[in-house]
Amino acid sequence: MEQEKKFYTLLVYSENIAGILNQITAVFTRRQVNIESLNVSASSIEGVHKYTITAWCYDDQVVKIVNQIEKKIDVIKATYFTDDQLFIRETGLYKLSTDEVMQNSEISRIVRHYDAQITEVNPTYVIVMKSGNTEDIMNLFNALNEFNCVLQYTRSGRIAVTRSTQEQVSEFLEQREKAER
Amino acid sequence: MDKEMITGSESLMRALKAEGVETIFGYPGGSIMPVYDSLYEYTRGEKKAFHHVLVRHEQGAVHAAQGFARTSGKVGVAVVTSGPGATNTLTGIADAMLDSTPIVVIAGQVGISALGTDAFQEVDLVGVSQPISKWSYQIRHADDVAWAVSRAFYIARSGRPGPVVLDFPKNAQTHLCEWTGPEHVKSVRSYVPYPTPSKSSISEAAKLINSAKRPLALVGQGVELADAHQELIELIEKADIPVGRTLLGLSALSSRHPLNKGMLGMHGQYALNMKTQEADVIIAIGMRFSDRVTGLPSTYARQAKIIHLDIDKAEINKCIHADIPVIGDCKVTMPAITKLLNKNDHTEWKKSFDSYFEMEKEQVIGPAIHPKEGPLLMGEVVNAVAEATKGDAVLVTDVGQNQMLSSRYFHYNKKRSIVTSGGLGTMGFGMPAAIGATFGAPDRTICMFCGDGGFQMNIQELGTIMEQQAPVKMILMNNNYLGNVRQWQDMFWNGHRSFTPMMNPKYNLIANAYNIPYELVVDRKELSSKVDKMLASKGPFILECAIKEDADVMPMVAPGKTIDEMMLKFNS
Ligand SMILES: Cc1ncc(C[n+]2csc(CCOP(=O)(O)OP(=O)(O)O)c2C)c(N)n1
């Protein structure tokens, strides 16, 4: 039976030490898995960095990838999720030509329809921002693009928090601290 | 009290001393000169703490550190300069990573301000070594030396051991720092070297072993690394389980133990490969199901339930699915399982190995170690050395036919008795690793088996052997071929001996040049007396053996085949 690839989100927590990103991405490249999006930021715990990574891969592949990432000395914890286990956001930024927006009222109607925000307006351009899921953000782009009004467009990597209460890693760190005492 | 201010290099000396380091393998150069200046004092006179072995190539320093670590159980240390010195260590680092060998490689680096400018002899060592090391770290400040060294040793030796790289920029070596005593890193919060085994996995494993009719234990280097030889014996004796050992696990159980059924894998024991495909329960202990052991993984032991004991969670289900993973230190998990085992008797099952073993003995082993005629064979040379050393010596091998035949026919009665490049298969490993072994196990005889190809791949280390008078007994099995590749060419590549015949130098002259005693064996009648002469000599010795040019290592599982398709003879 042919296995099907699934879309996974990996949450990785690490110490704030240089060179970890390299080590994490190398685990994917070595197994020829493409990273779809990547976001690195601080977590709610001081000194702990959080990576949100998405990729298409097989079930057994994602387990191996997570194990190999967690094996890196300065990685605290690596876990994987499917979309139903997470609260997910991405952001799209759309820079539109002010002239086009003024000439065609349909454009601002679309912006409102997609629940996007207009964050800046000046005589040459209008900046529109939309946060949501990938599909909505791309749909808005496609809709706007019909009017030839998009000067620039970019979409952020995914950020995600789990549906559990704490940072995934807090309990682990507590245990480690207890063990060290 | 006044603060004591010292340089980063002095701090390195003190930190190494605090780790119990006595032997350092190294090679100096521009970016590591401050360290060598400190070493000058620490290798003589009042401050003497270390013996420094000047190798002849940095690859040799790392392999020697590996040989030292594998025989002593301690962390091996190599010190080199930046740039080419650093890149020359990479093969050894990769080798140590695949074979879980604890070493610390300390490399010089250009000064901090020159980093990233393509300065003379600048290489991003941390960047290039990251994927092949357990941890690599750049020490940017003299203040960090004590901490970084302690952390490096802790990481190298704990859990599943491995190589650690410390990249040490020159100004961090010369800058002053306050010495507040050595650090004692005992834990790293992001790193769990000894995972706590789950109770349920242990009881499930015991239950399965108790119900097994045809159990088979596969033992790897993990048992040696955990120093769990006795725990292994208790487990297998109580449940009466026959054992196969991996190449790196050969001395995890004495060759004389009645449950020992030999070596696994491509050139392992015929009976073991056949029986792996009949076992109902396989207990894998500290081994990683390398493709050299499993053959074609999709057809490997499909009928068996597999229990996998490993300290490294990432090994579970990596190559072969484990029905019951037991994650933890096998020195802890084995006794926990043994406690729950019923005393058992598997006489019938064990007996069923015998007919296969007889076949192998008659068709392969006999002719290999007791040939009646024709040129000398590797097997008989190994056998002669093995009998003369009575299972007490340490076997160091290079890579190729010499490796497979020496590991097959050597005898192992003591732990930590085999040093070989298993995962990486590094030709040129043998000679420098054997140098390291003479320092790691100074009371034991070190026998190094090597082909004519591998001998020449780090032949410059004869200089180190000469200078150190390192008592390496070098058995050079000269078949005038890159034998292992020649065998594969004959078997699988139309017999095209593409660049495998090799012109050899006069090794007697080379031995003479390095002032190392030498003998040549051509006639098998002289074999045993010359082996005795070699073993009776005090220092290093080269015993060149004129080996049959086109003898094959048998039995063999052809690459990509199922292990029970193992061939006793090759029929082209
Ligand atoms: C560094 C390195 N290069 C190439 C190889 C591939 N290789 C494996 S065995 C072998 C032949 C070894 O020949 P020799 O040292 O004469 O030993 P023999 O097989 O004849 O015992 C070669 C070339 C290797 N393992 N390592």
- Three-state secondary structure string covering A64-83: HHHHHHHCCCCEEEEEEECH
Q: What residues contact B127, with CB distance under 8 A and at least 6 apart?
A: A19, A22
Predicted confidence band of residue A167 (pLDDT cuts 50, 70, 90): confident
pLDDT digits (tens, 9 = 90+) for A125-137: 999 999 999 999 9
Residues of B with CB under 8 A from a CB of A: 126-127, 130-131, 134-135, 155, 186-192, 312-314, 316-318
pTM, rounded to two decimals: 0.96
Contacts of B186 in chain A (CB under 8 A): 180
Pairing of strands A35-42, A117-121: unpaired
Q: Decide if pLDDT at A1 tops 60.
A: no
Q: What residues contact A66, with CB distance under 8 A and at least 6 apart?
A: A10, A78, A79, A80
Quick one: pLDDT at residue B325? 98
**How far apart are the CA of A181 and the nearest CA of chain B, in angstroms?**
10
Residue-wise pLDDT tens for chain B (572 aa)? 678 999 999 999 999 999 999 999 999 999 999 999 999 999 999 999 999 999 999 999 999 999 999 999 999 999 999 999 999 999 999 999 999 999 999 999 999 999 999 999 999 999 999 999 999 999 999 999 999 999 999 999 999 999 999 999 999 999 999 999 999 999 999 999 999 999 999 999 999 999 999 999 999 999 999 999 999 999 999 999 999 999 999 999 999 999 999 999 999 999 999 999 999 999 999 999 999 999 999 999 999 999 999 999 999 999 999 999 999 999 999 999 999 999 999 999 999 999 999 999 999 999 999 999 999 999 999 999 999 999 999 999 999 999 999 999 999 999 999 999 999 999 999 999 999 999 999 999 999 999 999 999 999 999 999 999 999 999 999 999 999 999 999 999 999 999 999 999 999 999 999 999 999 999 999 999 999 999 999 999 999 999 999 999 999 999 999 999 999 998 75
Q: What residues contact B191, with CB distance under 8 A and at least 6 apart?
A: A73, A74, B155, B159
Quick one: pLDDT at residue B308? 98
C-beta B482 within 6 A of ligand 1: yes
Pairing of strands A86-97, A125-132: antiparallel
Q: What residues contact A145, with CB distance under 8 A and at least 6 apart?
A: none
Residue B313 contacts residue A69 (beta carbons within 8 Å):
no
Residues of A with CB under 8 A from a CB of B: 14-15, 19, 22-23, 26, 30, 60, 63-64, 67-68, 70-71, 73-76, 173, 176-177, 179-180
C-beta B136 within 6 A of ligand 1: no
| B452 three-class SS | helix
Nearest atom in ligand 1 to the alpha carbon of residue B452 is: 16
User: Degrees (nearest 5) of the Cα angle B458, B462, B466?
Assistant: 160
C-beta B454 within 6 A of ligand 1: yes
Predicted confidence band of residue A177 (pLDDT cuts 50, 70, 90): confident
A–B: how many Cβ contacts below 8 A? 48
User: Ligand 1, residues B63, B399, B457, B491: which to mutate, most atoms within 8 A of Cβ?
Assistant: B399
Contact B313 A19 (CB under 8 A): no
C-beta B28 within 6 A of ligand 1: no
Closest chain B residue by Cα to residue A180: B187
Which residue type sits at B47?
K
Round to whole Å and give the CA distance between A50 and A75.
10
Quick one: pLDDT at residue B572? 58
C-beta B483 within 6 A of ligand 1: yes
**How far apart are the CA of A163 and the nearest CA of chain B, in angstroms?**
23
Closest chain A residue by Cα to residue B154: A73
**How far apart are the CA of A48 and the nearest CA of chain B, in angstroms?**
10
